[in-house]
Amino acid sequence: MTKAQRPLSPHLQVYRWQITMILSTFHRGTGVMLSLGLLILVYWLLAIAGGLDRYEQARAFLGSDWFKLPLVGWTFCFFFHLCNGIRHLAWDTGRGLEIHQYHASGWAVIVVTLIATMGYGILVIF
C-alpha cells in the first residue's frame, strides 16, 4: 500500500498564535528541559556518592556563575510544568473545558509560574 504524501496537520502557518497553543508547546518544551534536569540530578547524586573530591568537582561545575542561568531556567520549567500539569489533570476530570476557562486558566498558569519562580529565587538568595 502506498501512502499519499498529504501534509500532516496541524498547519501551524495558517493559525494565529494563541495562548492555548503556546502553553501546549511550552508544556512539551519544559518537559524535555526537565528530562535534561533529571540527568543533572542523577549526576549530582553520583557525585555525592563519589566522596568529597568528586563532589567538590561537581559543585565547582554546578555552582559556577555561568551555570546560574540554566538553574533559573530549570526553576521556571519546573513551576511551569507543575502549574500547567495541574491544569491538564483538571481537564482530565472534565473541568475547565470551556474556551473562556482555557484562557483564564492559561493566564493563571503564566502568572503563578512567574511569581513562584521569582519567589523561589528570593528564597534561595536570602
Partner 1 sequence: MSFGTALNRALELISGKGGVGHWWAQRLTAIALIPLGLWLIFSFARLDNFDYLAVTGWTRSPINSILLIFVVITISYHSQLGLKVIIEDYMHIASLKKASLVFSNFLHVGLIAVGIYSIVRVAFSVPL
Name the site residues for partner 1 (rule: CB under 8 A).
1, 28, 31-32, 34-35, 38-39, 41-42, 45-46, 48-49, 52, 55-56, 59, 62-63, 75, 78, 82, 85-86, 88-89, 92, 120, 123-124
Exposure of 40 by Cβ count < 10 A (0-12 exposed, 13-18 middle, 19+ buried)?
A: middle
Please, what is the minimum distance in Å from the beta carbon of residue 116 to partner 1?
10
**Alpha carbon distances (Å) from 79 to 101, 103, 112:** 20, 19, 8
Please, what is the minimum distance in Å from the beta carbon of residue 63 to partner 1?
6
**Alpha carbon distances (Å) from 52 to 47, 48, 57, 76, 93:** 8, 7, 9, 30, 48
Nearer to partner 1, 75 or 113 (CB): 75
Using an 8 Å Cβ cutoff, are 79 and 117 in contact? yes
Nearer to partner 1, 28 or 95 (CB): 28
Nearer to partner 1, 49 or 99 (CB): 49
